[in-house]
């Protein structure tokens, strides 16, 4: 089965494509152009966030493009995230605003973007109270039919265990993390696997420019040996460990290539990739209480 159709059945009973399109920094006219190409080559899952500032553009684009590609709302998977400034009792209102911007009737998945709140210090114990309140009000939104599934992003084992101990009867179905050979946490992976929570990798290709893992000697060597692109190797590294991916892409070539991950990386090469120098390109959630 082609990877573009591979899915994972989440704890909520709904399925999510294992490869989706990340839309961070895709704005304005680029949204319509990129989503048009993505739908044409087979993407059916799209990731955004309130703080990306592109929810309205994505909503308008999908409203125009779904009929063009003979698709209905039920054929695609839309996920977005709570702005870290909107933790607490206002979380449901924030979700409703995202839903209005995206013009999609319901959200497939809504994530708490960050375990901390921008309204308090990352070292404040108030963060736990605020994210717990956020979850409580998001559960209400789920019960009201506004969102089908709830998840989190940037939750390390401590944050996840706290949530699981007080989740108001609704466990998170997914945890989105920076995840690539230079940045992964075996303890977190084991916890998610044990609890049935899907890990989803953002920035699965690493950083940009000369710092990108696409230029790493180990990655390029494995890619050459397998006859694949460095990007395909990095995405397959995740998928081979049952970690979903949401790579970005704008060109038709990159969008197509990022779906072509139906191959196996030999265990010896997986070990080489696992031992790449560790580097984090984005937020560090380990500093948040």
- Contact of 279 with 183, CB cutoff 8 Å: yes
Quote the tokens at residue 50: 């309130």
Nearest to 91 by CA among 100, 79, 81: 81
**What is the C-alpha to C-alpha distance for residues 144 and 137, in angstroms, rounded to an integer?**
11
What is the torsional sign of CA 175, 30, 17, 72? Answer: positive
How are beta strands 174-178 and 198-202 bridged, if at all? parallel
Active site residues: 52
Q: Residue 241: CB partners within 8 Å, gap ≥ 6?
A: 189
The CA-CA-CA angle for residues 210, 211, 212, to 5°, reads 95
The residue whose two tokens read 């180990």 is: 218
Consult the annotation and say whether 113 binds a ligand.
yes
Q: What share of the chain is helix, strand, coil (3-state, %, to 5)?
A: 45, 15, 40
Binding site per annotation, positions? 113
Binding site per annotation, positions for substrate? 113
């Amino acid at each position: 089965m082609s990877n573009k159709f591979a899915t994972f059945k989440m704890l909520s009973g709904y399925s999510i494509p294992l490869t989706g399109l990340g839309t961070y920094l895709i704005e304005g006219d680029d949204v319509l152009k990129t989503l048009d190409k993505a739908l044409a080559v087979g993407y059916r899952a799209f990731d955004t966030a309130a703080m990306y500032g592109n929810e309205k553009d994505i909503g308008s684009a999908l409203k125009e493009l779904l009929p063009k590609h003979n698709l209905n709302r039920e054929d695609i998977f839309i996920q977005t995230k709570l702005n870290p400034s909107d933790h607490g009792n206002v979380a449901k209102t924030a979700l409703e605003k995202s839903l209005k911007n995206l013009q999609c009737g319901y959200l497939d998945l809504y994530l708490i973007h960050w375990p901390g709140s921008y309204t308090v210090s990352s070292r404040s114990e108030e963060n736990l109270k605020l994210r717990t309140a956020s979850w409580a009000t998001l559960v209400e939104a789920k019960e009201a039919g506004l969102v089908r599934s709830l998840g989190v992003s940037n939750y390390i084992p401590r944050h996840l265990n706290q949530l699981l101990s007080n989740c108001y009867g609704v466990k998170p179905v997914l945890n989105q993390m920076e995840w690539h050979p230079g940045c992964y946490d075996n303890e977190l992976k084991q916890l998610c696997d044990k609890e049935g929570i899907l890990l989803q990798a953002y920035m699965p290709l690493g950083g940009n420019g000369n710092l990108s893992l696409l230029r790493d000697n180990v990655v390029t060597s494995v890619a050459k040996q397998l006859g694949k692109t460095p990007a395909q190797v990095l995405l397959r590294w995740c998928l081979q460990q049952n970690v979903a991916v949401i790579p970005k892409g704008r060109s038709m070539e990159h969008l197509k290539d990022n779906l072509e991950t139906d191959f196996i990386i030999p265990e010896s090469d997986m070990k080489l990739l696992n031992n790449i120098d560790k580097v984090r390109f984005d937020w560090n959630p380990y500093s948040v209480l």
